[in-house]
Chain A
Amino acid sequence: MDSGPLISGIGHGALLAWALIGGMFSRAPDDTFEVSEVSIISAEEFAALSAPQPTPEATQNVPTPPVPEIEDTPPEQPVVAAPPEVPDTPINETPPRADVAPDVAPDVVEAPPPIAEVDDTPPEVVQPPVQDNPVVLAPPSTTASPRPAPRVAPTPVEAPPPDTEVAEETREQTTDSSDAQTQSEPEEATAPEEANDRIVTEADEPPSSAPTSSSRPSARPKRPTPPVEAATNDNSTRDAIADALAGVQTEDATAPASAPVGPPLTGGDKDVLRVAVSSCWNVGSLSTDALQTTVVVSMTMGKDGKPDNGSIRMLSSSGGSSAAAKQAFEAARRAIIRCTKGGYKLPIEKYSHWREIEMTFNPEKMRIK
């Protein structure tokens, strides 16, 4: 005989009996009140007490720092000289290859119009006047230098030292030391691949010490839906019901039911999945049209944290053509499958909450701007 329903029945019965009978023979709580003594004051005393306190005066004469003088005249542009170029003189040179030789050869060549020569000396930079104000230097930038990197990722990463293996985690190189008491295998140094958090073009100016951009903070994770409470104010009763519900859910966890069990996923749980998939979502090979397309992808997950590849399908798309949606979906599918590896690190006790997943791949932040 299955002991689960029996235990459940006993538990439910006990709970109901306690709810019905337990409270009937208990003594009603005394309606006692706490009493505080009060005193009567006069109207004058009340006015004195409630009169507004004098507020500190705002300082009007704050010395303003001197405004630095900036010259309106722009720095001198390099002078573009335009001397006429010496014309090509007719030369009896070898004609082009026979198969492509032009059939017309000019007889007279005169001076072509002048071609502008550009002075390659940079213009003098007009320095602003030195100010007496104390200057607070910004701390050195902690972001990656804005130079082109082969990888663009949400988090900038400095180039790893040479001879360092590219890996997700940074690890110091270890060597096999005979003096060591504990023998360990020598390990290569590893570091994440160099990455920048934006596309840096040749035209980008050298960086200032101030950060040029900051990443948008992640959206606050949604609060878990509050559990439905029974219409009672009795705390002890509510706790007992919660305990009973938890007991029932624990029993059902072993059964292949579709009802959710265990506490809901936390924001951290979801972030594990989000970060893992993001790191494999490569939009670099997507067309500009596909980068305008948001796709919603659904999948069924196994308990090992791996998606059922056959279940990955596109639910909907928006913002682009069907061809672009197809490209965007394929990139999304590659991201989901590639980063599976040993399975996404999701809590198994909450499996029913992440068995079915819908992922929205929104490339808005990744578009070419």
Chain B
Amino acid sequence: MKHRVTTALALVAALFVLPFVAATQSQAEPLRIEITDGVIEPLPFALPDFVAENAAGSEFASKIARVVAADLTGTGLFREIPKDAFISTVTNFDSPVQYADWKAINAQALIVGAVNVNGNKVTVKFRLFDVFSGAPLGEGLQFGGTTTSWRRMAHKVADAAYSRITGEGAYFDSRVVYVSETGPKNDRKKRLAIMDYDGANVQFLTDSRSLVLAPRFSPTGDRVLYTSYETGFPKIYVLDVASVGRRALADQPGTMTFAPRFSPDGQTVVYSLSSGGNTDIYRMNIGGGAPVRLTSEPSIETAPSFSPDGKQIVFESDRSGNQQLYIMPANGGEARRISFGSGRYGTPVWSPRGDLIAFTKQNKGRFHIGVMRVDGSEERLLTASFLDEGPSWSPNGRVIMFMRETAGAGGAVGLYSVDISGRNLRRVKTDGGASDPAWSPLLK
């Protein structure tokens, strides 16, 4: 009997207490879900023609919008929604955005811009909207310049939109110096040329009377180091991009100098010097002075490239009997090997972010552009062809440009770019053949 009474009392207590306990737990415990699988696909965006705020602006309104769209779609991360799918039109820069109309066509981002031309001055302004959130993505921005620089302003608009959506650094407003090649394979004419990153505005920096190789931008983008054979032997020159004036560097009689590259502060140059059948890496001040020898091996050491902090140098060497990648302190010293895969590794270039090293790999008769961590781990091959060579990083470290040559006597040489994920391999538009690309830093 006593047991039953106790049981009954416990039940009564449970009946009154449990609901309160459960209610408390419910309020404190929302439903928790973990999402680990997503998709990787281009983000659809809408880009109506920019609004011409005056008659003169109409000449540039559409052109600027097209360059912005080409920049964004060229990354492979975005997909432009065709204009004929638009429900809304944008006729006034300050009109409220009809989010429902853009949402209906699945536009996830909307770019609205306007152009005003006064004399030879162009003003371009734009706003970026997150359609599904129904809110602007950042503040509106405005750029000013001359009518001749309208493409740069378009690149700047695209850079801002790209950075706001992806979180990556900008890279559209940049240039590329490369070796322009014409003529048949056995009689190539080579000269230095510079162009916008997308192949527009090509200018030649040298003539084709001598062979030129491996141009490299200074960190400020105003000078270019390159190797010329005009004396019959490879010799390093530094060229001022604005004036096209140049001077020889590291001119040591009886030696061959090549593969130069600036240090991150632009004050020092590392290069290879070949003398007496041996090739080692040297370093010298850009203003002159005595070169400092950084390696002293009987093997071939070449293709040096600084780390972004300037404290280390990655280079290629065949000291192990096979061409591999090594890293040493910027002032020389013990080098450690970082590449251990099959095949031969060369032309290493340190990423501007400092986390990856791009390289050329030759294996089983194929050439690859690849990347690996600074410690040599996580090697990934991004391309494969008859001949891929000479990677160069975009200013934000997200894209690699390189040279590709097709097989055969009539093989063509051209520039290609690829995202570091291995996606979005595409050819860079150039007039004629092109090789040895070097990406500039972002323009100021």
Contacts and interface: CB of A to CB of B under 8 A. Distances in A.
B229 A110 contact: yes
Interface stretch (B112-120, B291-299, B328-336, B376-384): B376-384
Nearest to B78: A285
Interface stretch (B49-57, B63-71, B126-134, B280-288): B126-134
Contact of B35 (A85, A259, A274): A274
B35 A361 contact: yes
Given A101-B244, A283-B39, A357-B31, A201 B382 contact: yes
A237 B11 contact: yes
8 contacts: A88-B209, A109-B229, A150-B42, A201-B423, A203-B384, A281-B37, A330-B137, A355-B30
B211 interface: yes
A110 B231 contact: yes
A338 interface: yes
A1 interface: no
Contact of B387 (A118, A230, A353): A118
A230 B17 CA distance: 11
Interface of A is mostly: loop
A207 B408 CA distance: 27
Interface in B400-444: 407-408, 418, 420-423, 425
Given A16-B8, A290-B167, A360-B32, A284 B382 contact: no
Interface string A123-144: 1000000000000000000000
Nearest to A94: B207
A232 interface: yes
Interface string A226-246: 001011101001000100110
A91 B204 contact: no
Contact of B34 (A199, A257, A330, A359): A359
B37 A365 contact: yes
A189 to B, nearest CB: 21
Nearest to A249: B19
Contacts of A369: 378, 380
Contact of B208 (A88, A110, A201, A278): A88
Contact of B206 (A88, A96, A153, A360): A96
Nearest to A334: B132
Nearest to B369: A203
Interface in B1-47: 1, 4-5, 7-8, 10-12, 14-15, 18-19, 21-23, 25-27, 30-43
Nearest to A287: B167
B320 interface: no
Residue of A153, A285, A335, A361 ringed by the most chain B CB atoms within 10 A: A285
B425 A244 contact: no
B130 A362 contact: no
A211 B14 CA distance: 56
B95 interface: no
Interface in B227-248: 228-234, 239, 244-246
B11 to A, nearest CB: 6
A195 interface: yes
A113 B234 contact: yes
Contacts of A87: 211, 229
Contacts of B256: 113
Nearest to A75: B364
A354 B408 CA distance: 65
A265 B31 contact: yes
Contacts of A49: none
A220 to B, nearest CB: 13
B230 A334 contact: no
A26 to B, nearest CB: 10
Nearest to B406: A120
A87 B256 CA distance: 17
Interface stretch (A17-25, A32-40, A54-62, A170-178): A17-25
Contacts of A111: 232
Interface in A100-125: 100-106, 108-113, 118, 120, 122-123
A202 interface: yes
B269 to A, nearest CB: 20
A363 interface: yes
Contact of A23 (B4, B10, B407): B4
A259 B36 contact: no
B8 A150 contact: no
Nearest to B132: A337
B108 A338 contact: yes
Residue of B12, B34, B387 ringed by the most chain A CB atoms within 10 A: B34
A88 B378 CA distance: 42
A24 B132 contact: no
B18 A245 contact: yes
Given A100-B203, A230-B10, A360-B33, A122 B41 contact: no
Interface string B345-377: 000000000000000000011001010000000
